[in-house]
Structure 1
Amino acid sequence: MIASSGDRAKHRTALFLSLGLSAMSAGAGSHAAYAADLTIPAAATSPAPAPVPWLLGDWNGARTRLLNAGIDFQFGYTSELAGNATGGQRQQVAYTDQWVFGATFDLAKLGVVPGGTIQVTWTDRNGSNLSDDARLGTLQQVQEVFGRGQTLRLTDFWYDQKFVNGMVDWKIGRIPFGEDFASFACDFQNLTFCGAQPGNLVGNYIYNWPVSYWATRLKFNIQGFGYFQFGVFDSNPGYLDVSQSALPVIYSGSTGLLIPAELAWLPKFGDLQGSYKFGGWYDTSTAPNVVTDINGNPAVLSGLPPQQSRGRYGGYISFVQQVLRPSQASSAGALSLFLNATMADRRTATTDYQIAGGLTYTGPLPSRPQDDIGFAVGTTHVNSRVAWSEELQNLAGLGPIAVQGNEYAIEFYYTYRPLPGLQIRPNIQYVIDPGGTSANPNALVFGLKTVANF
């Protein structure tokens, strides 16, 4: 996608700001939910992280006083720069970014409702992305923050209420799918390793951040084990509409209900914490079969409309385990491993599974105990039924068409924390068989991700 002149102006302004921030110097983190930047989920972090610092300071103590009174403002910025040394149809550099503006209202601290919380978040995305601009042909973007329309969106607009001393947790409003289900950190820049995997795999109906649904979620916290939760989301392509995306409108055109469920085991082995999530979803919508026509024959040969299948479904696991605990003096020395895997039904999903694993390590340099490194490898697979259809087209003389299989991605990053509230993360990505085919040359991509929490 090529940015408009207005986008280019925003692009230049954001680039200037990013370069200015990068030139400043001295440690820290970001707000996990809103700057989309976590090393590992909070449930698997030890020791508990300190309060997130702010790049613009505490406003002479006013911000801490507001926080203690029950009002927490979030102002975040994420930028991603990427350039391809190999791969694609041309060498190019692309830049994209996201602004986040939000507020959390703790109704207990405000003296309104014990156990109640309200969250409102808007996001604004700008720029373009290398996967499109350089025509890399990848299944997963090399700049995860791009997508779903470069526009202002209402991302969170929900109410959460806790009952029975927090054992029961009910949430209702506009909710992103990956905020509660299959949630995962977004430190890596390649989309294979970022956020909720179901939305990466079947993004035609499961929408990740910054898109949200009208939805509700009920969670049961199980002491000494973890939790069980399920939700009901309005399955509706209208949420992708950018014309009213900043407003809490109710869209017509619902196709059914998206119903996810998740069981989480949160063990602690000595001082080493873990998070083991097992989940799945069922969408009641009617969806087209990716291969078969209304008569049960290959649609690419008959030219007839596709067969309509009732229901779409899938399952996932998301494991994070700390294997080395940090030192008492700092977070240095913490090593965590992760594994994510998702499968979708082969009737309706063009890409039917994704697997990703890797590690994060804090304090790789004695002089930089708060810095961290990450390494990950993963694959996204094109449904073999789709590949069979592509082979049929070639045999029938309708080709040549590249037969698709697995796309493989590798990424390494280093996080430098020069100031409280600022993270600068250079990364190297290598994508093998972009699009799941050797017809596309392998892509070597150099990236830079900057995260600021103001």
Structure 2
Amino acid sequence: MVSVSASLAIAATLPARAEDPPPQLTGDWGGWRTELANRGIEFQIGYTEEAAGNASGGQHNYVRAAGQLVLGSTLDLQKLFGVSGATMQITLTNRNGRNLSDDAGLNTLQQVQEVYGRGNIWRLTQFWYEQKAFDGAVALKFGRVTLGEDFAAFSCNFQNLTFCGSTPGNLAGNYWFNWPLSQWGARLKVKSGQVYVQAGAYQVSPRNSDPDRGFYLGWEQTSGALLPVEFGWTPTVGGLPGKYTATLWYDTSHANDVLRNRQGLPLAVYGGDPRREQGRYGVSFQFQQQLTRPDVADPVRGLSAFLNITQTDRRTSQTDNQIAFGLFYTGWLDSRPRDVMAIAIGRTQVNGRYAENQALANFNARGFLQRPEAEYAIEAYYNLNLHSGLDIRPNIQFIRHPGGITNAKDVLVLGVKAIVNL
């Protein structure tokens, strides 16, 4: 999940920004919400529920539901205390429910309920301070942050994880932590016109992903620093907005090689300790563009497209490449201007070196060679905007070669995603 502040209208075309408030089901609270906002205090209260059942594939046929409650507050410190350009964000999350991918034995590389994971507990997901200067051209942000809210940021409208959130976390989730996990970090962003560049430094520690410690703020087991750099361009093409980014990162930590032991021999055959590699790295590209606008008076309506491409290093990653392409159409019907139709197709590649080790292990244990390759996912949904702040999103997912195993039975999942912003 990128942010509770993602509005449907913006998320259907380009990634949401923290300053774009979502529509609220409970309205203005009799004027109190506006009054508080004028004084510098805004609240975010949201709940997402994702239900899914496998019509085919997997070891069992089950229906499972998982959800997330978000409680947040944005403090405008200029309005509150006269600190020009200063903002604070505090966000708590609580995840709950069960995961169909595990319970039904789907063996998918990417979850069919993206909202599940990282423990059914309360977490401190955001606690950061941002200072802007020079009319917003320079922004420094630091504190407890989620890496994917700033780098390779992407909306989370689909239910399959292949098409949700900052894509490096889908491949390198053992050190690139997306929402709801946070870590100590800082980011400096400089922008000029349609171009920006930003760089950051983030703590790398497995303790931040501990499923039982949602308010961990320490430095135990810190192995290094994750150093991302992003170049972005936000042009207007034919009067239509777009966003194009390139994100590169390097983690200074040591990590295990996925194939070789310390003697340089295959782990599956000769055993021993994995060879230790210095540093982990990768690159991610995102291309997003609104293509049509049938109603010039309503900039949200129309067709938009995205393409995400991510590559991680092949020494240490079990999955090393992901590519996803999708289309959104907002307001197909004049009578339903905020309904959205969407479809996406994606491919997640098992690292060939890791696949070789798995094939050797399977051959030794069972007398046959089984080498994982790539998993393909397709998802289509229709978002019903029932009321301001209330959306119901039925979807259908098809996963070809789950787990990257070519002879595994394909998976068909029927799901529904419900989003409430109070």
TM-score normalised by structure 2 residue count: 0.95
CA distance in structure 1 between the partners assigned to 2:381 and 2:128 by the alignment: 34
Structure 1 partner of 2:197: 228
CA distance in structure 2 between the partners assigned to 1:140 and 1:177 by the alignment: 19
Q: CA RMSD in A?
A: 2.0
Alpha-carbon distance change, 233 to 441 in structure 1, aligned in 2, over 3 angstroms? same
1:386 to 354, 357, 376: 354
SS state of the match for residue 108, structure 1?
helix
Structure 1 residue 334: Cα displacement: 1.2
Alpha-carbon distance change, 254 to 332 in structure 1, aligned in 2, over 3 angstroms? closer
**Mapped contact 2:6–2:21 kept (Cα < 8 A):** no
CA distance in structure 2 between the partners assigned to 1:67 and 1:109 by the alignment: 9
SS state of the match for residue 81, structure 2?
coil
Structure 2 partner of 1:200: 170
CA distance in structure 2 between the partners assigned to 1:190 and 1:37 by the alignment: 19
2:89 to 106, 109, 119: 119
CA distance in structure 2 between the partners assigned to 1:435 and 1:79 by the alignment: 25
**Mapped contact 2:39–2:79 kept (Cα < 8 A):** yes
List per-residue Cα deviations over 1:253-311 (Å, max 9, x = no partner).
Answer: 10000001100011111311110000111000000000001011101111111100000
Structure 1 residue 178: Cα displacement: 0.4
Task: Tell me which amino acid in the other structure corresponds to 1:447.
Answer: G
**Mapped contact 1:137–1:440 kept (Cα < 8 A):** no
Tell me if 1:139 matches 2:109.
yes
Tell me if 1:76 matches 2:46.
yes
Structure 1 partner of 2:377: 409
Q: How many residues in Structure 1 have an aligned counterpart in Structure 2? A: 420
CA distance in structure 1 between the partners assigned to 2:15 and 2:144 by the alignment: 28
Task: Tell me which amino acid in the other structure corresponds to 1:290.
Answer: V
**Mapped contact 1:267–1:274 kept (Cα < 8 A):** yes
Task: Tell me which amino acid in the other structure corresponds to 1:310.
Answer: Q
Structure 1 residue 187: Cα displacement: 0.3
Structure 1 partner of 2:404: 436
Structure 1 residue 314: Cα displacement: 0.3
Alignment of 1:225-264 (within 5 A): 225-246=194-215, 249-264=217-232
SS state of the match for residue 446, structure 1?
strand
Tell me if 1:268 matches 2:239.
no
Alpha-carbon distance change, 40 to 66 in structure 1, aligned in 2, over 3 angstroms? closer
SS state of the match for residue 178, structure 1?
helix
Structure 1 residue 391: Cα displacement: 3.1
SS state of the match for residue 30, structure 2?
coil
List per-residue Cα deviations over 1:59-88 (Å, max 9, x = no partner).
Answer: 100001111211100100000000010010
Unaligned runs of 5+ in 1: 1-30
Tell me if 1:426 matches 2:394.
yes
SS state of the match for residue 339, structure 1?
strand
Task: Tell me which amino acid in the other structure corresponds to 2:273.
Answer: P
CA distance in structure 1 between the partners assigned to 2:29 and 2:149 by the alignment: 29
Structure 2 partner of 1:60: 30
Structure 1 residue 346: Cα displacement: 0.3
Structure 2 partner of 1:16: none
Task: Tell me which amino acid in the other structure corresponds to 1:423.
Answer: D
CA distance in structure 1 between the partners assigned to 2:218 and 2:93 by the alignment: 19
Alpha-carbon distance change, 97 to 298 in structure 1, aligned in 2, over 3 angstroms? same
Structure 1 residue 204: Cα displacement: 1.1
Structure 1 residue 226: Cα displacement: 2.0
TM-score normalised by structure 1 residue count: 0.89
**Mapped contact 1:261–1:281 kept (Cα < 8 A):** yes
1:151 to 121, 124, 127: 121
SS state of the match for residue 337, structure 1?
strand
CA distance in structure 2 between the partners assigned to 1:50 and 1:177 by the alignment: 19
2:333 to 353, 365, 376: 365
Unaligned runs of 5+ in 2: none
Structure 1 partner of 2:275: 307
List per-residue Cα deviations over 1:95-148 (Å, max 9, x = no partner).
Answer: 000000000001112233100000000000000011001000000000000001
**Mapped contact 1:35–1:78 kept (Cα < 8 A):** no
Task: Tell me which amino acid in the other structure corresponds to 1:171.
Answer: K
Task: Tell me which amino acid in the other structure corresponds to 1:133.
Answer: D
**Mapped contact 1:40–1:336 kept (Cα < 8 A):** no
Alpha-carbon distance change, 209 to 50 in structure 1, aligned in 2, over 3 angstroms? closer
Structure 2 partner of 1:28: none
**Mapped contact 1:434–1:441 kept (Cα < 8 A):** yes
CA distance in structure 2 between the partners assigned to 1:153 and 1:401 by the alignment: 42
Structure 1 residue 52: Cα displacement: 3.1
CA distance in structure 1 between the partners assigned to 2:298 and 2:20 by the alignment: 11
Task: Tell me which amino acid in the other structure corresponds to 1:252.
Answer: E
CA distance in structure 1 between the partners assigned to 2:367 and 2:15 by the alignment: 51
Structure 1 residue 251: Cα displacement: 3.2
